Amino acid sequence: MNDVINLMLSHRSIRKFTDQQIPQANLETLIKAGQSAATSSFIQSCTIIQVNNCDKRAHLAELAGGQNYVAQAAIFLVFCADMQRHQLACDMHQQPMQSGFTEQFITATLDCGLFAQNVVLAAESLGLGSVYIGGLRNNIAQVGELLQLPDLVYPVFGLCLGYPAQNPEVKPRLPVEVVLKQDCYTDENDQTSINAYDQQLKQYYAARSSNVKQQGWSEQISKMLNKEARPHMLSYLQSKGYLQK
């Protein structure tokens, strides 16, 4: 192992932060690290909004389901899939832009994920902690309005950054044999591996310092997928010019 891999394997979500501030120059370095991520066809379709206004932060925390660390973290970023600047690029060269394709939605959204994970890894290398805020999509239209997002721009998730005020345990992931297949897809032994993983996760939850749970991964997922998952997303994305065809 090397230092980079050890850092990646030690990732934890941090939800409690100290009051220590992060220099803006450091954040801009993290953003440059994010820009270094792969981007499909050099599309570069991720825009980040740094939210500094305290009232906006508090409102976003509420819209995300009462996640107070959105307001408390030293830095809060909103990662947006952005095809608006590509409209500008087409206009600059008097070319009509063909938009609304599902492929464009996929590449723009993936850009945000790749960009953000580079930011997180770079941040952790500086001793910072982070947590993603997918809860912004609970009230995505209100978030978009608050941030004045134009057509072809939508908020994918938020990201809290700050110096950790907690030291949570590393949550075990699915066994490699479940997620790494050879030559073709097969789930022949997955149930056995997942059963063992369920027991490992129960032990983790029982031993960790906060939010003790009494369930394994498969039970947790079965309950989560037994209910609707933000059904408002499709109509919102279509209203912003995505997923038209």
Task: Judge if 76 and 193 occupy the same domain.
Answer: no
Task: Judge if 133 and 222 occupy the same domain.
Answer: no
44-57 pLDDT, tens digit each: 999 999 999 999 99
* Amino acid 211: pLDDT: 67
114 confidence band (pLDDT: 50, 70, 90): very high
Q: Domain limits at 65?
A: 3-168
Task: Judge if 191 and 126 occupy the same domain.
Answer: no
Task: Judge if 100 and 78 occupy the same domain.
Answer: yes
What total of structural domains would you count in the chain?
2
- Is the confidence at residue 84, as pLDDT, over 70? yes
Task: Judge if 74 and 133 occupy the same domain.
Answer: yes
Amino acid at 46: C
Task: Judge if 28 and 133 occupy the same domain.
Answer: yes
Domain boundary among 122, 148, 168: 168
Domain CATH code at residue 114? 3.40.109.10
Instruction: Name the average pLDDT for the chain.
Output: 96
Task: Judge if 146 and 190 occupy the same domain.
Answer: no
207 confidence band (pLDDT: 50, 70, 90): confident
Task: Judge if 21 and 123 occupy the same domain.
Answer: yes
Domain boundary among 113, 143, 168: 168
